Structure 1
Amino acid sequence: MTGAAPEPVLVARGLRKNYGAVQVLAGVDLTVARGEVACLIGPSGGGKSTLLRCLNFLERPSGGTISIFGEMLCQDDGAGVHIAPERILRRARSRMPMVFQHFNLFSHRTVLQNVMEGPVTVLGLDRDAAIERARSLLRDVGMADREDHYPDQISGGQKQRVAIARALAMAPSVILFDEPTSALDPQLVKGILGVINDLAQQGITMLIVTHEMKFARDVADRVHFCDGGRIVESGCPDDIFQRPRSARLADFVRSIHE
């Protein structure tokens, strides 16, 4: 007897995004299941980061549907796209926080304050409980001894660890990562990928835009190849990197090996 399929957490169908006459997303279909680590790979300009920003409603989709745990956030009836009220979007964002490539920490707040801000202001958590949660998460990402530092007093790799702790503080259903290592020096990349790998081992659902192909091969449950504003091919890492079906993915895999 086989077990039940994992519950879908995040589902997009026919997702489109236009900037004027330029179409950046051309009908994306994507499902992320509970506990899954999904990586989005592909050439620059293929729409990966725009896809994440639309899923989080930092950008307004031009068409298609988005739902989280079955709650519809964006619907397209053919005559236009209908976005859920802002209170519903705020709740959805709190369930799927994003970790940005350039950290986006509050410069005027300490490390501890950055991590506890969301639980206090968005989730309504008691201040003492938020401090306890923040300190626990900072220990988990190796930043406990920097809680009183400000962002300009810590390194890029340390800022990214704080950004990950901040996302975890929201007790998320899924974490979106937008190229979390691209702004880091090469010697700092390994540490951040190690933190994300630890999260994967804990069963935290993640959707990760990455150019780190070895990381995608080693950590992802499912890899989605994006090109031309579409997901061209999806599969387990072995299928994507060793048995590509499309000529475009085969060319991409060949280029990264070269």
Structure 2
Amino acid sequence: MEFKQLLAQDPAECKIHFVSSAGQGEAVLDIYLAGEFEEDQQFQRRKNFSRKYVISLIGLERNTYYLFAGVFEVLSVEKNKVGQLHFGDCLWKYNTVEVPGYEKLVGRLLVKPKDTIGQSVYRLACGIIDDINVLEYLSKPFDYSNLNSTSSTKSTEKGFKQEVEEAYDLPLDIIRQKSKSYPSKPKKIKTYTSTFKRNPFVVVEALRKANGICGSCLNKAPFISKSTAKPYLEVHHIKMLADGGDDTVENTIALCPNCHREKHFG
């Protein structure tokens, strides 16, 4: 779903504030979870909010995706004064009010821009809104536990590696039988950096078929793996999974690390 479909405001009247959670020491999430985000956002170094509305998105996981923090109407702007928050650092204070109607989305909606945004920036909504898609709607408001539960890339890779190691010494007929439970075109698992749930038994059979010899340079594997005590080769998909290739033995080749890197970067 496109993010713009959830907005009632005209994008031409909005600016999007991409607030970096990987910025220069700013604990943006701490500020947000403490309920102080709107007040903190009101103070700006420059006249950044040049539209009637501000759409606020807080970057997570080094700005891989963003948490929707609300839509705010700009009522007025004035010079920051002595005694006010961030005086001496922020020149301007915006008087804003949160726009009602987004209560079910604030703190629960995760979105992902098509391109990397980077540090804290301000974009005209009409120029970028079409490139922002909804990633997920959380069942409960975001907190720090979500960072652990949604950062599943490493756990997915760890589970795959463990399955390969455990299956390596199984009889070939068992390997092929277990392999049938996996589709030839693997499903994607949402980790906020898409990864494929690959078939570990295809890897095992490809390695067994190679018998320690690189399928490209025909040299022996360069070393023995500590985890498997077997010759170390890497299984490469001849037609990449990302390009629609099948996760099958026929579409794989076992390569030494150098030849594998050459296939990807040579």
Q: Same fold (TM over 0.5)?
A: no
Question: Which has the larger helix fraction?
Answer: 1
* Higher relative contact order, chain-length normalized (CA < 8 Å, sep 6+): 1
- Which structure has the larger Rg over C-alpha atoms? 2
